[in-house]
Amino acid sequence: MTVRKNFSLTDAFAAFIRQPTPWIIGSLLVGAVAARVAIGDWQLTDALVPLIMLALFPFAEWIIHVTVLHWRPRRIGPLRIDSLLARKHREHHAAPREVPLIFIPWQTFLWLLPALIAIALLTFPRIGLGLTFLMVLGVLGLNYEWTHYLIHTDYKPQGRLYRAVWKNHRFHHFKNEHYWFTVTTTGTADRVLHTYPDPAATQNSPTAKALHGVG
């Protein structure tokens, strides 16, 4: 894939909306907003939910990236334990500019959406609070997919914050896959969880494009 000069945000967005995942997450967000407005019953705890989720999201990113996406295939007897997410993520590392591989596989949402809706409706003390959770999750999910996609395009970083986010994730892909696991923040969870080393003192990994040496 050749590098495109003068690749704009408009170009990026046009390609972004051609992928299925943004539409799936966007539909979840629209449905959650409509249901939340219909339910009403706004309380102070509805304002606390986004604050808590924003604080925890970098750590959720880190945990999912490390334990799910970087899962090392294992065998238990005749069974090979290797999820679709892990396989697609290995493909993503092998071909980081391949656009469909940048996004969460759409098949994942066949089980993830029902699970998230069940969590929202069954585990919160109020249905309205659960719907607030879904709304915020939709926003965070779209932001994650857009940020991750944009990092892997030819769009040149603009602004100090985005340059820092861009640099962190590029280090993960092109220097050493054992570090820099956060995507939408400037290494927030990486700093706390000690996966944010000095790039100049970190060796280049021979398996950054072939995770675990698995082809």
Domain boundaries, the chain: 9-160
Answer whether 61's CB lies under 8 Å from 144's CB: yes
What residues have CB less than 8 Å from 126, skipping those under 6 apart?
Answer: 41, 43, 45
What pLDDT does residue 1 have?
A: 54
Counting every residue written for the chain, the total comes to 215
Answer whether 179's CB lies under 8 Å from 55's CB: no
Taking only the tens of pLDDT, the chain with its 215 residues reads 556 678 889 999 999 999 999 999 999 999 999 999 999 999 999 999 999 999 999 999 999 999 999 999 998 988 999 999 999 999 999 999 999 999 999 999 999 999 999 999 999 999 999 999 999 999 999 999 999 999 999 998 888 999 999 999 999 999 999 999 999 998 889 999 999 999 999 999 999 999 987 65
What pLDDT does residue 2 have?
A: 58
Q: What is the DSSP letter of 4?
A: P
Which tokens hold the place of 117? Answer: 């809706």
What residues have CB less than 8 Å from 152, skipping those under 6 apart?
Answer: 96, 97, 99, 102
Q: What is the DSSP letter of 159?
A: S
**pTM (2 d.p.):** 0.93
CA–CA dist 35, 127 (Å, integer): 10
What pLDDT does residue 206 have?
A: 95
Integer angstrom CA distances of residue 107 from 65, 83, 212: 18, 11, 24
